[in-house]
Amino acid sequence: MSQEVRIVTSGKVIQSPCGPIVHGLEDVLVKTTTISDIDGRNGILWYRGYRIEDLANNSTYEEVVHLILYGKLPNKRELEDLKTRLASNRDLHPATVDVIKALAKADPMFALEAAVATEGAYDEDNLKLADALRSGRYKETEKALALRIAEKLIAKLPTIVAYHYRFSRGLDVVRPRSDLGHSANFLFMFFGKEPDPLAVRAVDLYLVLHADHEIPASTFTALVIGATLSDLYSVIAGAIGALKGPLHGGANEAAVKSYLEIGDPAKAKDVVEAATKPGGPRLMGVGHRVYKAYDPRARIFKGLVEDYVKKFGDPQKLYAIASSIEQAVLSHPYFQQRRLFPNVDFWSGIVFYYMGIPYEYFTPLFAMSRVVGWTAHVIEYWDNNRLFRPRACYVGPHDLQYVPIEKRE
Ligand code: ACO
């Protein structure tokens, strides 16, 4: 692959007086990366060269964090060291806890943005790194510091999410436990009790599957902020803001809500048919900008949903309804011709719903995972940083006659 940044205009191109505009930057290359790669035509995803299936079947989220941040799968000692560092960084600054409490009734994504920004204001390492970046002292020592700050963010996001849930329900917060792994500790802080191993596996698998995905809108937001030499916590607060939008995070919530509304697997065929009509409602959890094949993450998570409903049942028939929709989608010419397949969001919400995690915490879970990809891409970009400064094609008037306010109509 070419090392230089080049613009491909095969995406949706708009002609303007200044030349072609690549709408939504579709297919525009902005950096090289060794973090993740997607083969959308064949439905393949790699992290640092490893197939997602191998990582999902064999590695925990902590191992994937090491792989993504440090470029290699950890040996046993490296993994234990990383787990110890993550566990020791889970607590929050008292000011952050106050912010979460103040936003207890707000959507958790607002609380997550605000809490991350607050935590960053009190993290001396973050301020030290920002200083180094601004004075051009970003060398190996500062890069090591950036990686340690990334670990802190990864460690703290679950605490923010769990504390918000507890405050929002008027419950006492449950402090993190250093003897538990990343996903088990999150569930322990969230529900305040020892989690079921299959629930831990579900959260951990979800975190592995969402850890990175090249440059979607939130990662691009992170890069734009990082390239200004802002600080790493501001990078993540901004990325969370981008993820909050319904065109990015949040489709798993919409998918589960639609299954609940459908209520009966026998109705699935009609719902799918309605989505093929002009102006009909889109099927949530179906289709993807990059994957024109079955999303490999969806296939993996579907297996987990099957294990979960085998163990705990499918009281609201969510799995049965989703399966009927899937069958109807895969066999319908409308979806076949447009290369529309179930994506990861088609399945992931079902397990969270059955575990008792309220819908509004689904996107925060996404952020808890993607924080590793966001930080890794920004740290990678800082090796050869350049401010993002695109141009717009101005199509308004110039040199209008200025009229004083008292003479304006
Ligand atoms: N249901 C019905 N028709 C669809 C769907 C869908 N879910 N998705 C796309 N189409 C149709 C469009 O109507 C369009 O048809 P047309 O050619 O007759 O006009 C065609 O497929 C192409 O659609 P685009 O909007 O151009 O495809 P794009 O690549 O921009 O969209 C997107 C991708 C946004 C994910 C879309 O498939 C969608 O809205 N899906 C539902 C929401 C969803 O599941 N999002 C999660 C994505 S995965 C993630 O973020 C982790």
Residue 129 Cβ inside 6 Å of ligand 1? The answer reads no
Helix (H) or strand (E) holding 45: strand 44-47
Domains of the chain in sequence order:
60-247+372-382 (1.10.580.10), 251-355 (1.10.230.10)
Name which residue sits closest to atom 30 of ligand 1, judged by CA.
Answer: 289
- Cβ-Cβ contacts under 8 Å for 267 (sequence gap 6 or more): none
Q: Does 134 or 64 have the greater pLDDT score? A: 64
3-class DSSP state for residue 39?
A: strand
Proportion of the chain above pLDDT 90, given as a percent = 90
Mean pLDDT, to the nearest integer, of 126-135? Answer: 94
φ, ψ (nearest 5 deg) of residue 137? -100, 35
How far away, in angstroms, is 149 Cα from ligand 1 center? 36
How far away, in angstroms, is 214 Cα from ligand 1 center? 19
Tokens for 242? 């981008």
How far away, in angstroms, is 286 Cα from ligand 1 center? 7
3-class DSSP state for residue 50?
A: strand
- Helices 197-209 and 61-70, interaxial angle, to 10°? 20
Tokens for 389? 């400064």
Residue 280 CA, closest ligand 1 atom number: 2
- Cβ count within 10 A of residue 198: 15
Listed in order, strand segments (DSSP E) in 337-379 are none
Mean pLDDT, to the nearest integer, of 19-40? Answer: 93
> Which tens digit of pLDDT belongs to each residue from 45-79?
999 999 999 999 999 999 999 999 999 999 999 99
Asked if pLDDT for residue 10 goes beyond 50, the answer is no
Specify whether the CB–CB gap between 338 and 276 falls below 8 A: no
3-class DSSP state for residue 15?
A: strand
Residue 344 Cβ inside 6 Å of ligand 1? The answer reads yes
Alpha carbon 177 to chain centroid distance?
A: 25
At residue 318, the pLDDT reads 97
Mean pLDDT, to the nearest integer, of 169-182? Answer: 98
Mean pLDDT, to the nearest integer, of 90-119? Answer: 98
Task: Identify the burial level of 73 via C-beta atoms within 10 angstroms of its C-beta, where 0-12 means exposed, 13-18 middle and 19 or more buried.
Answer: middle
Residue 272 Cβ inside 6 Å of ligand 1? The answer reads no
| pLDDT tier for residue 5 given thresholds of 50, 70 and 90 | very low
Asked if pLDDT for residue 11 goes beyond 70, the answer is no
Name which residue sits closest to atom 28 of ligand 1, judged by CA.
Answer: 289
At residue 194, the pLDDT reads 96
> Which tens digit of pLDDT belongs to each residue from 274-329?
999 999 999 999 999 889 999 999 999 999 999 999 999 999 999 999 999 999 99
Name the residues annotated as catalytic: 288, 345
Mean pLDDT, to the nearest integer, of 247-269? Answer: 92
Bridge partners of 286, per DSSP, are 342
Owner of token pair 């059955």:
354
Residue 285 Cβ inside 6 Å of ligand 1? The answer reads yes
Asked if pLDDT for residue 1 goes beyond 80, the answer is no
Name which residue sits closest to atom 27 of ligand 1, judged by CA.
Answer: 289
